[in-house]
Amino acid sequence: MLRAIGLLTFLFVAGSSLAYAQEASPPVPSQANFKVFTDARIGMVKAALQLTPEQEKLWPPVEEAIRARAETRYNRMVAMAGKVGEQREVDPVEFMRGRADALAERAANLKKLADAWAPLYQTLNPDQKERMRLLVRHVLRELRDGGDTRPMEMHDENECDKE
């Protein structure tokens, strides 16, 4: 009985994940437009923090890590959009392995972003830290509110794309 419940649970989760992943993805912006939006997000974060001249010296690695994550995200969006029209049979095991690989890559990229932020964050004054917390909360709220309408790859990427 327990085995049957486990099998049904697996089939339900895998089946709903596969169906969700195969939904049509939203249109992918051009690379130029994506770069403009990335620049705007970086500018917004930098403006909100109001960095001092000393803190500005610690900003380049943060911006580089943000841009690297954005580029990886854009490439993933393009790859997902290219797969939307494909009519092929989905191997659930390969699907799960692919998801695991994507999540591992994203985890490594997020760790690089956190490592880039650490030295700068340590120099922020209490007001700057509060503004950063507000930015992160805003981003997390957007992810939670918008996550239901995006394919899993995009949903997972946005998790903590927070600059």
Show Cβ contacts of residue 17 under 8 Å, excluding neighbours closer than 6 positions. 95, 99, 152
Reported as a pLDDT band with limits 50, 70 and 90, residue 127 is very high
Quickly tell me which residue has 């917004």 as its tokens: 44
Output 13 or 49, whichever has higher pLDDT: 49
Does 154 score more than 70 pLDDT?
no
- Written as one string, the DSSP assignment of 10-71 is HHHHHHHHHHHHTSPPPPPPPHHHHHHHHHHHHHHHHHHHT--HHHHTTHHHHHHHHHHHHH
Instruction: Give me the residue spans of the domains in the chain.
Output: 2-158
The 8-class DSSP code of residue 30 comes to P
- pLDDT tens-place string over residues 89-111: 778 898 899 889 989 998 998 89
Reported as a pLDDT band with limits 50, 70 and 90, residue 12 is very low
pLDDT of residue 87: 64
Query: Dihedral of CA 79/80/84/87: which sign?
Result: positive
Show Cβ contacts of residue 117 under 8 Å, excluding neighbours closer than 6 positions. 62, 65
- pLDDT tens-place string over residues 19-69: 444 445 567 889 999 999 999 989 999 999 999 999 999 999 999 999 999
pLDDT of residue 91: 85
